[in-house]
Amino acid sequence: MIFGFSGEKLHILIIHYRETGLSALPGGFVRWDEDLDDAARRNLKERTGLENIFLEQFHTFGNVQRYQPEVMQAIMTANKITPPPDHWMLDRFISVAYYALINYKYVTPQPDALSDSCDWYPVDALPELMLDHQDIVNKALETLRERWDKKLVGVNLLPTKFTMKELQLVYEAIMGESIRRTTFQRKMLKLDIFERHEKQYTGKSHKAPYLYSFRVEEV
């Protein structure tokens, strides 16, 4: 689950498998000599080119109903691959899910070997996703909203210095709700996790907002 934000809406990165009409969350396999977290970081870099990004495991999906070998068969056939009936790609998969948070202005998404495109979609306008991937999206959003304050999920979605209004836009995009400016600022400043900097002068000086950054020790 790769969440992206650029100032207005929260987006999710979706891949489209070649000549199948199937859309899915980007994923990958764990190599024999690779730790699970390292595999997640590698897959994130392959799709976005980014490193040192907030990345956290949030759930494991292993419902037996997600075993549908005909789906993978269709993807492989579309890529001119003819697997034998006992091929491991047609076996059952258990998915360990992670979510990442990035500012997608800095990303040119890269499709994997079996897909022909990789695009950003607003969370409220996703295409129909294969298998149980919509369930993964829903669980990721639920987790993200629960951990907002504790995990500082705005870190990778904002510039190094930001206004409270910019932080509020991230919050509202993730939570899917609006909140009064004064209420939000009180809530955030009570967390005592920000450094206040100079004002951002873009218009009338008396209305210029202060810039903030996350304290290094809190990130």
Of 40-44, 123-127, 159-163, the range with the lowest mean pLDDT is 159-163
Closest-CA residue to 61 (of 123, 143, 132, 2): 132
C-alpha 13/C-alpha 46 separation (Å) is: 13
**Most confident segment among 97-111, 116-130, 144-158:** 116-130
- Domains for the chain: give ranges and CATH numbers: 2-151 (3.90.79.10), 158-218 (1.10.10.10)
Q: Tell me what the mean pLDDT of segment 109-115 comes to.
A: 92
Q: Please state, for a pLDDT cut of 70, what percent of the chain lies above it.
A: 91
C-alpha 97/C-alpha 1 separation (Å) is: 7
Residue 12 pLDDT = 95
Q: Tell me what the mean pLDDT of segment 191-211 comes to.
A: 75
For residues 90 and 150, the answer to whether their CB atoms sit within 8 Å is no
Q: Reduced to 3 states, what is the DSSP secondary structure of residue 11?
A: strand
Residue 219 pLDDT = 43
pLDDT digits (tens, 9 = 90+) for 8-41: 789 999 999 999 999 999 999 999 999 999 999 9
User: What's this model's pTM, rounded to 2 decimal places?
Assistant: 0.84
Q: Tell me what the mean pLDDT of segment 143-159 comes to.
A: 71
Residue 202 pLDDT = 65
pLDDT at 152 over 70: no
C-alpha 169/C-alpha 174 separation (Å) is: 9
